[in-house]
Amino acid sequence: MQLETFFFQADSGWSISPLPDLDSDNTLVIAFGAAGESSGRVGSSNNPLAGALAELAEHFPNATLMGCSTAGEIFGSKLLDQSLTVAVLRFEHVTLRQSLSPINSAQDSAEAGRRIAADLLDDQLRAVFILSEGLSVNGSELVCGLNDVLPAHVTITGGLAGDGDRFQHTCVMASGTICNSAIIAVGLYGDAVRVAHGSMGGWDIFGMQRKVTRSVGNTLYELDGQPALELYKKYLGERAAGLPATGLLFPLALLPSGERQEAIVRTILSINEQEQSITFAGNIPMGVMTQLMRANFDRLIDGACDAATHASLGSPAEGPLLSIAISCIGRRLVLGERTEEEIEATLEMLPDGTRQIGFYAYGEISPLASGNCDLHYQTMTLTTIGEAV
Question: What are the tens digits of pLDDT across the range 82-99?
Answer: 999 999 999 999 999 999
Lowest mean pLDDT: which of 65-74, 98-107, 212-221, 294-303?
A: 294-303
Q: Are residues 310 and 162 in the same domain?
A: yes
pLDDT at 369: 54
Same domain, 285 and 314: no
**Span of 33-47, 263-277, 353-367 with lowest mean pLDDT:** 33-47
- Alpha carbons 10 and 31: distance in angstroms, whole number: 15
Q: Are 235 and 353 within one domain?
A: no
Ramachandran bin of 276, using left for φ above 0, alpha for ψ from -120 to 50, beta for the remaining angles: left
Q: Are residues 209 and 157 in the same domain?
A: no
What is the secondary structure of 141-189 as a DSSP string?
Answer: HHHHHHHHHS-TTSEEEEEE--BTBT-S---EEETTEEESSEEEEEEEE
Average pLDDT of the chain is 88
Q: Is the pLDDT of residue 27 over 60?
A: yes
The fraction of the chain above a pLDDT of 90, given in percent, is 55
pTM (2 d.p.): 0.86
Give the pLDDT band (50/70/90) at residue 267: confident
Binned at pLDDT 50, 70 and 90, residue 259 comes out as low
Q: Kindly report the CA angle at 383 between 378 and 384, in degrees rounded to 5?
A: 150
- The per-residue pLDDT for range 169-219, each reduced to its tens digit, is 899 999 878 888 999 999 999 999 999 998 888 778 888 899 999 999 889
- Whether residues 174 and 231 share a domain: the answer is no
Q: Which helix (H) or strand (E) holds 302?
A: helix 297-310
With CA atoms as reference, report the closest residue to 174 among 188, 166, 184: 184
Which of 293, 327, 355 lies at the terminal end of a domain, its last residue? 293
Q: Is 331 helix (H, G, I), strand (E, B) or coil?
A: helix
* Domain closes at, from 254, 276, 293: 293
> Are 360 and 270 part of one and the same domain?
no
Residue 301, phi then psi, degrees to nearest 5: -65, -45
Indicate whether 187 and 317 sit together in one domain.
Answer: yes
Binning pLDDT at 50, 70 and 90, where does residue 308 land? confident
Judge if 248 and 370 occupy the same domain.
Answer: no
Model pLDDT, residue 176: 78
At residue 214, the pLDDT reads 97
64-70/27-34 β-pairing: parallel
How many domains does one find in the chain?
A: 2
CB of 206 closer than 8 Å to CB of 292: yes
7-22 average pLDDT score:
95
Q: Which residue has the higher pLDDT, 21 or 265?
A: 21
Across 19-28, 310-319, 349-358, least confident range: 310-319
Give dist(CA 135, CA 33) in Å, integer: 17
Q: What are phi and psi of 317, to 5 degrees?
A: -65, 145
Please check whether residues 74 and 161 belong to one and the same domain: yes
Minimum mean pLDDT range among 34-43, 154-163, 331-340, 356-365: 34-43
Same domain, 311 and 369: yes
pLDDT of residue 150: 95
**Residue 244: is the preceding peptide bond cis (ω within 30°)?**
yes
- C-alpha separations of 309 from 120, 125, 170, 343 in Å: 29, 25, 30, 13
Amino acid at 298: D
Domain containing residue 243: 203-293
- The residue among 136 and 121 whose pLDDT is bigger is 121
| Per-position b or e across 156-186, b if 16+ CB within 10 A of its CB | bbbbbbbbbbebebbbbbbbebbbbbbbbbb
DSSP run (H or E) holding 9: strand 2-9
| Residues 88 and 229 reside in one and the same domain | no
Reduced to 3 states, what is the DSSP secondary structure of residue 246?
helix
What's the Cα-to-Cα distance from 208 to each of 169, 204, 256, 265, 318, rounded to whole Å? 35, 13, 15, 16, 49
Tell me which of 259, 293, 327 is where a domain ends: 293
* Omega before 18 within 30 of 0, i.e. cis: yes
Calculate the alpha carbon distances from 64 to 43, 56, 285 in Å.
19, 11, 37
User: For 345-362, what is the mean pLDDT?
Assistant: 93
In the prediction, which pLDDT does 317 show? 52
Dihedral sign for Cα 217, 223, 224, 230, please.
Answer: negative
**47 pLDDT more than 70:** no
107 and 17, same domain (yes or no): yes
Check whether 121 has a pLDDT greater than 80: yes
Please state at what angle helix 297-310 crosses helix 339-349, rounded to 10 degrees: 30
